[in-house]
Structure 1
């Protein structure tokens, strides 16, 4: 039997099977949580002019310490049309353009005004240019603001908008077909006969993908009947087909033979991973295929490690893999075996605890978990307080 494929190699091989999908331009509000398909340049300069950073008076620093004669007012969206000559000042508000001739803003708390007469009453600005946001301080027209492959976060969307964009280039949404397999499965809420089980993997997977740019195609529950499976797989029109169940080697594990009979090529099967070893991956025409285990915990973990990164890759992400971080252990862990282990864990007071929620057959323990502790193959025992790598999960 071939050795189990390491997790990182499996991830890299999976992502190498596909290329990002076609580009479309969408309004800013529709681009949220997608990835930029091209570099996004600034279409304008921000600030567009020298602007006041404070409420006060625009003056010439050479005229310090005054007094001054106030000749007008500059407000955001309503600039002073003239210029400031020696001995003059212009009342100015935060965000307003600094009038020509002025080079400093005297804050209003350090001055007293009597009609048009302005007198310094505080220390005043310490140097020329004080309290002014210079033209182009944030960015200049033509600057690259967002690089291709970067996630379009709320802040980046705001940046794109203020730089002049009403729409952005992104990859079209990914069509993901979800199918559960197994004669024992029935929809949740159905009265159960003996040996029947409510099927929740499709709903769980759809929820795991809710923050990604996807369109879900629900194929429902497919029986353990190879001709039916084969016909269902042949009819799929999607970028990605995700199945759960039937991925192992039992007599009723028919997903792989049905996929191959439908024309799929299996690139790899069986990973050095706990939980989730029997996962398979391949291509069915132009459709990527991921066969996840039917065990809900295994399906959840493999979706985090493979389904989500594959969708990110198809969507043009520069870095599609999930990010991990380091936290201290709240309790000891034993040495790890030959597979990369993703331990369900709870975070309490910044420490990770895993000892009571490891039964991979129990959804209640998965529901308690807020992260996965990543244990590399052959990792030695870990003590309380040792640093461990975790992957946050929703």
Structure 2
């Protein structure tokens, strides 16, 4: 068992243990938002399927209109019209024009369009006040070419990508099955919200905050009944958990007599590492139990959320085969001082803002790992290397909370 690892070394072990899922589901378009594409998609069609107009106006021959101006308008005969979905079936000849509407196919013979605002209609004729433009014609296949891949395995299906898949001709999409992630809180003092709170008790916030983080990262959270500080209860719950791709526990991973997760895994599992040189979240544990990856998050609410962001989220991205990074990094100007930890990398909760064309960041206040309120008020983490504090006005590294920016 490795101990007291750097963030980078611990993350490498986590990702090495993560085996990308191969299970493919086919979802209808409307149910696929937020899923991860399981195969490359090639367009089934050209788009546009035929050259069409990008504007309302008149399709004509560009050569007929080259001399058109306000002082010398050109007159063309209007021989028909072409709304979107109802193409004009004839051919445009010199001196003629067809009224077209955005998205309508360009009639045979026409090679340019004059915008309606640059014309004056007079019965069966139209006066052009400027030359028609070829640029207002969208050529066939200008957006999509049939047979070419535009979406790829591992792409997160955003609204734009789902819309693109629809335009490519797909009614259903092959997606990676969402990883089933069990979430288990431990501790005699933990009480479910809504129940009377006994003396010394604490409500189970960890299960629900971590479940939200799992869902946001693309997993399917399975909240398991919390257990007391008893190794046999833990063993029983693990056996009853059902088919999971990852188990996340909160609490029970430190050095105390009641830290049952660590005790059970030392006897019956394989602990890949225990403790990481970070604050908050130092007691993080990663192991396997009967072949199931198990990530033991610390019991303090902030520690649980921060360590999931740094380690659990990348693990889920690897299981899903996602091609985008699990979180982003940027630089911001500190509006308040941030205090370092002397021996460990620190992740300080902060409020990130965009002010006067630059990012600025300020502390949420009390940085105790028990102050869960800071994770609701804050929207980012300021990263401080061991022993290196940041003063007001300095540039600092920031990790925005996913979905906050």
TM-score, normalised by the number of residues in structure 2: 0.91
> Separation in 1 of the partners of 2:236 and 2:265?
10
1:361 match: 370
Superposed CA RMSD in Å reads 1.9
The aligned counterpart of 2:250 is 244
1:98-109 map, 5 Å = 98-109=106-117
How many residues of Structure 1 are paired with residues of Structure 2 in the alignment? 389
Residue in 2 aligned with 1:8?
8
Aligned to 2:71: none
Match of 1:70 in 2: 78
**Distance (Å, rounded) in 1 between the aligned partners of 2:273 and 2:203:** 29
Name which of structure 1's ranges 68-77 and 333-342 shifts more when overlaid on structure 2: 333-342
For residues 165 and 212 of structure 1, the distance between their equivalents in structure 2, rounded to whole angstroms, comes to 25
Residue of structure 2 equivalent to 1:58 = 59
Q: Which moved more, 1:366-375 or 1:351-360?
A: 351-360
How far apart are residue 355 of structure 1 and its match? 6.7
Find 1:309's aligned residue among 289, 307, 314: 314
What residue number does 1:288 align with? 293
Q: Give the whole-Å Cα distance in 2 for the aligned partners of 1:374 and 1:381.
A: 10
Query: Structure 1, unaligned stretches of length 5 or more?
Result: none
Q: 1:148 to 1:293 in 2, by over 3 A?
A: same
Deviation at 1:284, TM superposition (A): 2.2
With over 3 angstroms needed to count, the CA separation of the structure-2 counterparts of 1:312 and 1:38, relative to structure 1, is: same
Instruction: Please say if 1:135 is aligned against 2:140.
Output: yes
State the 1:363 CA deviation.
1.9
TM-score (norm 1): 0.93
Contact 1:107–1:124 (CA under 8 A) maintained in structure 2:
no
Whether the aligned pair in 2 keeps the contact of 1:357 and 1:366 (CA below 8 Å) is no
Query: d(CA) in 1 for partners of 2:123 and 2:43?
Result: 43
Counterparts of residues 1-394 of structure 1 (less than 5 Å):
4-21=4-21, 22-64=23-65, 65=68, 66-120=74-128, 122-125=129-132, 129-237=134-242, 238-261=244-267, 263-348=268-353, 349=355, 350-354=359-363, 356-378=365-387, 380-393=388-401
Once residues 15 and 26 of structure 2 are traced to their aligned partners in structure 1, the CA distance between those partners, rounded to angstroms, is: 24
Partner of 1:220, secondary structure, is coil
Gapped runs of 5+ residues in structure 2? Answer: 69-73
How far apart are the structure 2 equivalents of 1:371 and 1:72?
60
